[in-house]
Each structure stands twice: as C-alpha cells, then as structure tokens.
Structure 1
Amino acid sequence: MSYRLEFYEKLDAHKRREAVWDILCEVDKEFVPSLSARESSFQSELQVEVEEDKKPHSYFEEVCKQHFILAISEGTEELLGFMTFKSGYTCEELTAFSPSLYITTVCVRKKERNRGITRTFYDFIQSEQVKEAFRMPYVSTRTWSANHSHIHVLETIEFEVSERLPDHRGKGIDTIYFAKRV
C-alpha cells in the first residue's frame, strides 16, 4: 500500500484532528516520559510524574498549533502517521544549529511501522517541498537515549549530536539533541 505526504500549517480545525488524536493515544506510553505526562512538545523539564489513566490532552492541543506533515494511505485515505515541527526554533542545546526547523513529534501507527515512513518524513522536511517561509538553515530534534529506532534513522541521514543531557528523563535515560545543516 502506498502513501503520500501532505503539509499543513496547523490542524486547529482540520478534519484529520481526530486521527492525530487516535495515533497520539496509541503511542502515548512509548515516549519517555509519556506524552500524557507532558504539557507541550518542547518543554525543558522532562522528569515528570506519570498518571497511568491520563490521556495526552495538553500535548495534543499544543501540537495542533504546530506545522504538520501527514502520511496518508493512497488507498484508504487513512492517516498512517505524522510529524510536527516549529520553524525558527532556538534553545541553549541547539546554539550551533539555530535557528532551526525543530521537529517536535514523530508518530507512526504501530501496524504501519518498518515501511520507511519516518525516513520519508525526514527526507520531506529537508527538501524544497516545505514552503519557503518555513525553511531554516538547520533541522533539529531531540529524543531519549533508549529510542534506538529513531536514533538509527537520524544517524543514517547524517544528523549529528548537538547536546546530550545525562539522566534528563530519569536515571539512565538521557535526552539527546540532534541537528543537521540543510
């Protein structure tokens, strides 16, 4: 089954909001900390208490204000996954890579993984398919040290480590900032 990518400035009133919500709920607890334990996609304090039954409402409202790249099935029009980002982002951990197009979230439905969707998102965001008004000299993101599949994708597309924050997400779980000049 093939898919296409679509860019959206925001999803505030978009018909795909419900599908984004469904995917966030599906993958919520895979993130460290979980998305439901966060207030936003770029908060700096990541050692937070997790409530088991909580849903990622705050996180969802925050990402819907960001820019989206959606992966949509050509046959069924189902949302397979999404990437969210902020343009013009700066922070202390990315000083050498600022301003950047900062990727805040990458989510792919579990049943659609290992099809290259995440890699395709990264190819898209580094291309001229992103509207010129949003392009930056750098692309950046962060992840946790045990997120081996995401780190593997970043390393294979030549992102470099900008900063590593030891035990930032708990004992033995580092936050790693990655960036690349485009």
Structure 2
Amino acid sequence: MKALFKIALLASVSVAVTSCFNKKEPNYQYFPNMQQSVAYETYSESKAFPNGKEAQIPAKGSIPRGFTPYEYENSTAGYELAKANLKSPLDSLSIDEARGEQLYTIYCAICHGDKGDGKGNLVKREKFLGVPNYKDRQITEGSIFHVVTYGLNSMGSHANQLTQEERWQVTHHVMKLRSQL
C-alpha cells in the first residue's frame, strides 16, 4: 500500500510539473534581458542624454589625462619660436637611446638614412629628393620636435604615430646623429 501511494504521488507530481510546461517560451527566465533584449535602432535618438543630444561634450578648455598641450602654432613663426625656446622635458634618466634609435629607424630612416645623412632608401630610389643632411642644417631640439609634430615641406606630421614622449626620444637620437656627422 505504501509503495502504491509513493508511485501515485510521484506520478501526480510529474504530471503537475510537466503539464505547466509551455514549449513555445520558457517558464522561468533567470536573466530576461539576455533572453529577450530591448531592441534599439542604430543611430536612433536615446533618452540617455539630455536635450536630444547624441553624446556628452567635454567641458570647454578641458585637456585629456596624460596629454601635454603643444603651445607652438604650425607656422614659420611657431617653428622659429620652438627652435629658439623649446627644450626637451626628458631628463638624462628618461632618455632611452635604444628606443629612440628604434623609433628613428621605423619612422625616419627610410628617408633621412640610418646616419642622418639624407640618403635613405626612398632617396636612393629617387622617390623623394631634397631630404636634408642633419649636418647641413642649423637645428635644435625644439626645431626637430616641431617638425616631427607638424611636418615641414614634403615631410608629413608624425604626431598621430608617435606620442610626445616618443617624439622627444626621436629628437634626442637625431641630435646624437648630428653630433656624429
């Protein structure tokens, strides 16, 4: 009798549990937003930002963390000011000669040559002409940094490829090459 009662109880519990099951959608959703996420249309307006703006705009005059503004303008006057006044902020312990040489080889040597003599591979193949020899120019740390930052004549700016610290490393290496010529 007890065995029959246990079997009947087990059968009724099984029928009760399975009879409530709906195959079209699950009964219990532990993470409903993952199962049926709220759909947003791409580039549509959102109530996340006030006044219907698409995003928050940084405050006027704000500067990103870790960024030091370069205060010389991209002009001949800015070049002359940088040449006369701008000095490297790196101290002797911060200068990494191997890193400066590596960056110079990657970004500069193709035109200026490994020795800074203006005879890089592109000049030898006559793709660019008139690349200066560092020995022939009156250059300073400031003028080199300014030219690497903004570019000059047919040389483009390297500000997007190199951080400020890396540009100073390259500047130090160029001054070293100039002293060896």
What TM-score, normalized by structure 2, do the two folds share? 0.23
- If each structure's strand is expressed as a fraction of its own residues, which one has the higher value? 1
- Higher helix residue share: 2
Query: TM-score, normalized by length of structure 1?
Result: 0.23
